[in-house]
Each structure stands twice: as structure tokens, then as C-alpha cells.
Amino acid sequence: MKKTEKTYRIMISGGGTGGHIYPAIAIANAWKERYPEAEVLFVGAEGKMEMQKVPEAGYKIEGLPVAGLQRSLSLSNLSFPFKLLKSLNKSKALIRDFAPEAVVGVGGYASGPLLYVAQGKGIPTLIQEQNSYAGLTNKLLAKKAKAICVAYPEMDRFFPKSKINYTGNPVRKDILNLEGKREQALSHFGLDSSRTTLLVLGGSLGARTINQAILYDMKAFEDSGYQVLWQCGKFYFGEMEQKVQGSGLKHIHVKEFIKEMDLAYAAADVVVSRAGALSVSELSLVGKPVVFIPSPNVAEDHQTKNAMAYVQKNAAILLRDNEAVGQVKATVDALFEKKGKAEELGKNIRNMAKENAAEEIIEALERIIG
């Protein structure tokens, strides 16, 4: 990437989940790579994970007291107007003091007040929408945004077509090159090179249904010559580890969290995963056959919509959450029984990958700054 001596002051706002935070950090890293002297300030929601993850990535962050409206009747909704007003006032002060050339919103509560204030002051704003179904905050902000970067085609049903840039989602650079890492990966995780490897991902906190489904099938998997590398998540690790140890099975490798995702992907022959926007984008770059089990507990059922964008292109398999327990092994077996099916899915999902998402987003940002 070409470096330049110019300096720019950029604010990046949003968060709440890793699906918002990691793309935001990737955008900041790409911007700093091109403009090493640039200043970047993040704005997040107080008490949310961005307040920890952003400083860990080396950036300064300010927190807003904003919180989301609960869909059910809740006492916390009574404080919503007061928190919103405080967040708008703090956003005005932050923008006045930092004087950004542009503001980027990645979705989540905190991007709402900051981008609203920036748009009111005529500061160029860019929205990055990770999902195939646009979030409420981004839909509300789209009207006055200068550019909207999306990860899926046909997003003009949510946003003005003239503003859309089809960039994909920025992902970790270490997974772009898995070539030659398989032996290292098998050794790192203590896996058997003669077995078919199933990688199971339920997110950093875990996914109850996926964990229950793997528990149900784990003996059958081992008996049939598979091995399972299983990220079960923080909430479930104690229980899952105990059950695996009690089973006496030798080829079910349960982990709370897998940090070395490049090695996990390199070891995998097939992946079972939730269908969060970031997971889907990463898996398209990995180019392995995937069984998506979308979480039903997300706004507008957007994970199912994310997965369906791939299923419709014969690039993944969908297994619904309420059907998953008792069906994962049968689904994986069927994938390998049909000659060439696994290779076909891997090739098709790879064809949908967008490798240079972060660079394309910062090019859109350069255009709106002018």
C-alpha cells in the first residue's frame, strides 16, 4: 500500500460486538498504513467490549453513555432519552475538540449519536454495513452519509444505490495465506493427520445449540474417523471440557477460545459455524466447505440472511438452529459422500471472497474527504 506524508484526523464509531469492532480496527490499521501520521479516535459505548478491544489494538477510545432500546417492555427504556441526550452532547464536544476530516460508522449504538452530530455539522461520513440485512442505526444514518460500504450485493433495497461501494468486510490479514500451514496446524493442536478434521466455531462467548449438537454427535464423529477442533466459548467451556473428559474420547479437542485462527482454518477439512458477518467473510477467504447454523437470537434474523446469500450460490450448507441437535454428523457425512461436493462448496465460497476490503473502504473514505 502506498504511504503518504499527509495527516488526517479520522473518528471511527460503533461496536457492541466483535462483528462491529474488528472491521473498525481493520479500517483504522489500513488508514494508518497509508497515512502513518494520521490521528484516529474511536468512540464506543460505555461498558461494551470495544472499550477494552480498541486500546488493546493501540488506539484511543472515548465512551458514550448510549444504550439500545429493548424490544420488550423494560425499565431500562425509561433512561434511553436521557442517555441519548448525554451522548449527543458528548459527541458535540468530541467533534469540536478533535475536529475530524471524516467520521466512519460501523454500526452499533455508539455510531448513531456521533454520526448524527457529524452530519449536522457537514462533516463527511462513511457507513460500513457488515451484514446482508442492514441495521437500524445504519439505515437511519444512510440518508446523509457520503458513502456506504457493504459486504453483500443487492443492498440498494436499504441504501441509496449511488452511495453504495461493494467492498466486503475487512478481516484479519493472517488468514489470507494458509498455504503450507497444515502440518504446523496439526502439530499445534495435537491433531491426527489420518483423520478428517471438523472445525466448530460458535463465537467467542459460545453458542448453546452448536455445543449441544457436537456433544450429541461427538462419539459418532470419533467412531467414524473424524476429529473435532471445537471452540465452545467462554460461557460453556467448563461444562463442555468436563463432558469430553468424562467421555474418554481422544479426538474431540475442546477449547474455550482459539487465538491462532489461521492454523485452525489450515487444519480444517470442513467448518461448522454461526453466520455472523465477520465469520462469513473470513470463511469465504478460507475457501473450505462450511455448514452454517445461524443464530436465531439476532435482530431481523440477519444471520440466516447472511448464510442464505451463500447457500443460494451453492457456496455453503444451511442447518437451522432448531434442527441442529442430532443432524450435524448426518449433514457432514452427506457432504463427503457426494463426490466432489466438498471441493465444489470450497471453490464457490472462495469465489465470493473480497480480499481487499479494508483498502477499498479507505479509498472510499479518501474520495469523500476529497
Q: Are residues 187 and 140 in the same domain?
A: no
Q: Check whether 129 is labelled as a binding-site residue.
A: no
- Total domain count, the chain: 2
Q: Is 277 annotated as a binding residue?
A: yes
Kindly state whether residues 77 and 113 are assigned to the same domain. Answer: yes
In angstroms, the CA 207 to CA 194 distance is 29
Q: What pLDDT score was predicted for residue 5?
A: 66
**Beta-bridge mates of residue 105:** 13, 127
CA distance 255 to 276: 20
Q: Are residues 68 and 160 in the same domain?
A: yes
317-318 β-sheet, strand order: 252-255, 226-231, 196-201, 270-273, 290-292, 317-318
Distance CA(18)–CA(353), nearest Å, equals 20
**Residue 18 in marked binding region:** yes
Give pLDDT tens digits along the chain (370 positions): 566 667 899 999 988 877 789 899 999 999 999 999 999 999 999 998 899 999 999 999 999 998 765 555 556 566 778 888 999 999 999 999 999 999 999 988 889 999 999 999 999 999 999 999 998 889 999 999 999 999 998 999 999 999 999 999 998 777 778 889 999 999 999 999 999 999 999 876 779 999 999 999 999 999 999 999 999 998 999 999 999 999 999 999 999 999 899 999 999 999 999 999 989 999 999 999 999 999 998 878 999 999 999 999 999 999 999 999 999 999 999 999 999 999 999 999 999 999 899 999 999 999 999 8
Where is 166: in which H helix or E strand?
strand 164-166
| Residue-level pLDDT at 74 | 56
**Residue 278 among known ligand-binding residues:** yes
* Spatial separation of the C-alpha atoms in residues 254 and 143, rounded to whole Å: 46
Q: Please name the residues in contact with 235: beta carbons below 8 A apart, sequence gap of 6 or more.
A: 205, 206
Is 362 inside any structural domain? Answer: yes
Q: Does 4 map to a domain?
A: no
For residues 262 and 221, state if they share a domain: yes
- For residues 87 and 111, what is the distance between their CA atoms, to the nearest angstrom? 10
Residue 218 shares a structural domain with residue 155: no
Is 13 known to sit in a ligand binding site?
no
187 assigned ligand-binding residue = no
In a domain, 160, yes or no: yes
Residue 361 dihedral angles phi and psi, to the nearest 5°: -70, -45
Name the DSSP letter for residue 107.
Answer: S
Query: Is 281 a known ligand-binding residue?
Result: yes
Residue 194 assigned as binding residue: no
Which three cell numbers, joined as nine digits, stand for 270? 470442513
**342 plus 245 within the same structural domain:** yes
Q: What secondary structure letter does DSSP report for 272? A: E
In a domain, 1, yes or no: no
317 and 360 share one domain:
no
Residue 3 lies in a domain: no
Any known ligand binding at 258?
yes
323 annotated as a binding-site residue: no
In whole angstroms, give the CA distance from residue 334 to residue 312.
18
Domain membership of residue 55 (yes or no) is yes
**Whether 346 and 361 share a structural domain:** no
Instruction: Mark whether 113 and 158 lie in a shared domain.
Output: yes
Rg of the Cα atoms in the chain: 21
**Grid cell digits, residue 203:** 463465537
Is 50 marked within a binding site? no
Tell me how far apart the alpha carbons of residues 102 and 149 are, in angstroms, rounded to a whole number.
15
Residues 138 and 243 in one domain: no
* Helix residue spans in the chain (DSSP H): 18-34, 50-56, 80-98, 111-120, 136-141, 182-189, 208-223, 237-247, 261-267, 277-286, 302-311, 328-337, 341-351, 357-369
Together in a domain, 232 and 334: yes
Instruction: Clarify whether residues 96 and 112 are in a common domain.
Output: yes
Residue 2 lies in a domain: no
Dihedral sign for Cα 136, 67, 166, 319, please.
Answer: negative
359 among annotated binding-site residues: no
Q: Are 274 and 207 in contact (CB under 8 A)?
A: yes
Nearest to 329 by CA among 207, 251, 223: 223
Tell whether 308 is covered by a domain.
yes
Sign of the C-alpha dihedral computed for residues 354, 359, 360 and 365 taken in this order: positive
Range of the domain at 194: 174-351
**DSSP character string of 298-313:** SGGGHHHHHHHHHHTT
Does the annotation place 280 within a ligand binding site?
Answer: yes
**DSSP assigned state of 17:** S
CATH number, domain at 293?
A: 3.40.50.2000
